[in-house]
Chain A
Amino acid sequence: MTQSLISRVRQLGRRDGAERAADATQAPYVCHCKHVHYADVDKAIRKGARSMADIQRATTACTRCFGCRFELERMLQDAYGDAYHRQSTITLPDGVRGTRLPRSMYMPVLAGFRGYDVDTRVIVFNWEGPAHPIGFRADLLTLDGTRVQAIEHSVASGSSAILDFRGDDAGSRLPGGVGVVKLILETEEVGSLRPYFHLLTPTCISSTHEKKGPADPAKLKERNYHWIFPIGKGRRNDEAYFFYTNTQAVPMEGQRLVWQSTGGAVESTELPTLEFSQSACIPLHERFETLNAGEGGAVRLDPPLHAVAGFMLRHEPEAQLWRVQHL
């Protein structure tokens, strides 16, 4: 299954207009959700589209999952050069505001992360779901949100779809061997279609499920609780990474991680500003000196404002053992 799937993978990256035209038969869509071709966007730009909103209005591209935002912005940058001014926030134009947004699902991808022998596998299980096959698209994104691979697939009732992201394959497209897979179902109905992923090493398999983006990515909603990364008692030498993706169409800024131990230690670290679908993987063991001292406590995301798809990773390098859990 994996081999046949790989043969269907469309690779997307930095290309100029001529290369895109030459690739048209292999990668016809810049927006897979709305089936908008590169040629449609080129045409809209030639007719005067100068902004993301113009392209959205003219083509309906980037009005569903926003996964093609960076590719469209690259096309605008190619066309207008310095005259193009990027907007950090996408606002849907009036004409397409009624578009229903599926809740995108996010999972971290470790594929040779930091030189470690670790791969990622995504599984979508359609058990007692819709009787017809459910299509989905999986975008492989770098941490800066650039889409480097798009996989279109479907999963029949009673079956599973399995996608492998190996260090010697996907890892070559991901700087640092780390990225995120963003999965969009073609249906609002989810049921059992809740993807889980595996982190695979020669000595272990660790697994948890995806995290969904908010129903309305443009609306900031204050949570009445903090997301935390719990740290148990006992001195240890393992690594701890906080992985998160901004799932809102609003820049994530002014956030920090706060480590609070039961012994009274409080340390904090500022987080980088992330735009929509951008991710970061923060090595907590390098930021917080007392994290592994043995007292236990929790690292919290503060303030409890922005919606992220967050995951906690613990790693014992010598044993090649990973533990992963969602926030």
Chain B
Amino acid sequence: MARSASLEQSPWLPSFGWWPHPSELGISVILSSHHASAEEGSYYDIVLRGYADGPEPVWEHEVGRLNRGEERVVALDGLDLPEPPVDRGGIVEVHAIRHDRPPKANVGFVGMWIEAVGRAGGGYLIPTIPIRGQKKIVQRDDLQVIPGIVSSREAETEIVLLNPIETSTEARLVASSASGLVSESEWFTIGPWSAWRGKISNHVPRVRQLLAQDGGVGGLAVYSSHKLLPYFGFTRPGQPLVCMDHSAPLFA
């Protein structure tokens, strides 16, 4: 476990988001004390880190103290950072450690927000989410679903899978038509502290034919050997990536 995600450092665990290559998307990390807590006297120390195919961060940016009522916005463009892999990007970590009190459970996290603006337009808004420390209990950690994938000549679904743990994770994509027919990808491996990115038509056999009778729309299940952080977005031919939402865990 990297030091940032270690309980030895703090019971306030980090949250994560995708770190896309800066040639495609410009990232702002929005740090809002209002979003973190409305409690008087709350304050935080915040560090941002970037990971690319390894457990040690390739960059680290200390934001410093955030007191109640304050907001900061950190544009990664302005930090003179190394670049993540161009084909899949990396992982950005937002580690907000609250000092005025511990989490109500044994561990917790303070999530923040990322706004990504495409160099060619588009982009997305997404909250950062944890791999450990969330309050909600998931029913199972080896399955998450994405209702409403699209694969046709008019649009394609892009999947991003983040693996912010020290262990390689096996994953498989199972596409399902509206009427319940399925097609499965092969199992593939995502390295420790790495991002994986792919179009479903490149990984799920004959998915366009599978979804054709329903206007190219269906569902996707993401199976994995460890919990992953899956995201999905869409592209139209010749258009930029728009939207990058998170998948739906099956909560208990």
- Report yes or no: A319 in contact with B155, Cβ–Cβ below 8 A: no
Query: Is B107 close to A, CB under 8 A?
Result: no
Please report the total number of B residues contacting A with Cβ < 8 Å: 58
- Report yes or no: A125 in contact with B219, Cβ–Cβ below 8 A: yes
CA distance A158 to B147 in the complex (A): 11
**A interface footprint on B143-184 (CB within 8 Å = 1, 0 otherwise):** 101111010000100000000000000000000111110100
A-B CB proximity, top 8 nearest: A232-B28, A296-B73, A232-B115, A125-B147, A123-B148, A125-B219, A230-B30, A205-B234
Residues of A within 8 A of B73 (CB): 231-233, 262, 295-297
Instruction: Determine the residue in chain A with the shortest Cβ distance to B104.
Output: A224
Residues of A within 8 A of B116 (CB): 232
- Report yes or no: B217 in contact with A121, Cβ–Cβ below 8 A: yes
- Report yes or no: A123 in contact with B217, Cβ–Cβ below 8 A: yes
- Report yes or no: A225 in contact with B38, Cβ–Cβ below 8 A: yes
CA distance A127 to B220 in the complex (A): 9
Interface residues of B in 37-71 (CB under 8 A from A): 37-39, 71
CB distance from B172 to the nearest CB of A (A): 14
Query: Is A128 close to B, CB under 8 A?
Result: yes
- Report yes or no: A191 in contact with B243, Cβ–Cβ below 8 A: no
Residues of A within 8 A of B214 (CB): 1, 160, 162
Interface residues of A in 177-191 (CB under 8 A from B): 190-191
Give me the interface of A with B, judged by CB distance under 8 Å.
1-2, 121, 123-125, 127-128, 156-162, 190-192, 194-198, 202-209, 223-228, 230-234, 236, 260-262, 295-298, 300, 304, 312, 314, 316, 319, 321-325
Choice from B126, B148, B232 contacting A325 with Cβ under 8 Å? B126
Q: A324 with B243: in contact, given A191-B250, A233-B73 (CB under 8 Å)?
A: yes
CB distance from B65 to the nearest CB of A (A): 15
- Report yes or no: A298 in contact with B71, Cβ–Cβ below 8 A: yes
- Report yes or no: B35 in contact with A196, Cβ–Cβ below 8 A: no
CB distance from A10 to the nearest CB of B (A): 22
9 example contacts (A-B, Cβ-Cβ < 8 A) are as follows A158-B176, A159-B176, A160-B217, A203-B236, A232-B27, A298-B32, A298-B34, A316-B121, A323-B242
- Report yes or no: A231 in contact with B242, Cβ–Cβ below 8 A: no
CA distance A226 to B32 in the complex (A): 9
CB distance from B46 to the nearest CB of A (A): 14
- Report yes or no: A204 in contact with B242, Cβ–Cβ below 8 A: yes
Q: A304 with B38: in contact, given A162-B215, A230-B32 (CB under 8 Å)?
A: yes
Extra contacts, 4 of them, besides A198-B148, A297-B30 (Cβ < 8 A), are: A205-B234, A207-B243, A225-B35, A323-B242
Choice from B39, B113, B121, B242 contacting A224 with Cβ under 8 Å? B39
- Report yes or no: B242 in contact with A205, Cβ–Cβ below 8 A: yes
CA distance A201 to B27 in the complex (A): 24
Residues of B within 8 A of A191 (CB): 139, 250
- Report yes or no: A225 in contact with B37, Cβ–Cβ below 8 A: yes
Q: A205 with B155: in contact, given A125-B145, A160-B217 (CB under 8 Å)?
A: yes
Residues of A within 8 A of B176 (CB): 125, 127, 158-160
Give me the interface of B with A, judged by CB distance under 8 Å.
26-28, 30, 32, 34-39, 71-73, 75, 78, 113, 115-117, 121-127, 139, 143, 145-148, 150, 155, 176-180, 182, 214-215, 217-219, 221, 232, 234, 236, 239-240, 242-243, 245, 248, 250-251
Residues of B within 8 A of A158 (CB): 176, 180, 182
| Residue among B116, B240, B242 having the largest count of chain A Cβ atoms under 10 Å | B242
Residues of B within 8 A of A159 (CB): 176-180
Instruction: Determine the residue in chain A with the shortest Cβ distance to B112.
Output: A230
Residues of B within 8 A of A314 (CB): 125
Q: A325 with B26: in contact, given A226-B34, A314-B125 (CB under 8 Å)?
A: no
Choice from B28, B121, B147, B239 contacting A160 with Cβ under 8 Å? B147
Q: A262 with B72: in contact, given A204-B234, A232-B30, A325-B126 (CB under 8 Å)?
A: yes
Choice from A203, A205, A228, A319 contacting B113 with Cβ under 8 Å? A228
Q: A325 with B38: in contact, given A158-B176, A234-B26, A262-B71 (CB under 8 Å)?
A: no
Instruction: Determine the residue in chain A with the shortest Cβ distance to B72.
Output: A262
Instruction: Determine the residue in chain A with the shortest Cβ distance to B219.
Output: A125
- Report yes or no: A224 in contact with B248, Cβ–Cβ below 8 A: no
Residues of A within 8 A of B78 (CB): 233
CB distance from B13 to the nearest CB of A (A): 17
Residues of A within 8 A of B240 (CB): 321
CA distance A156 to B179 in the complex (A): 8
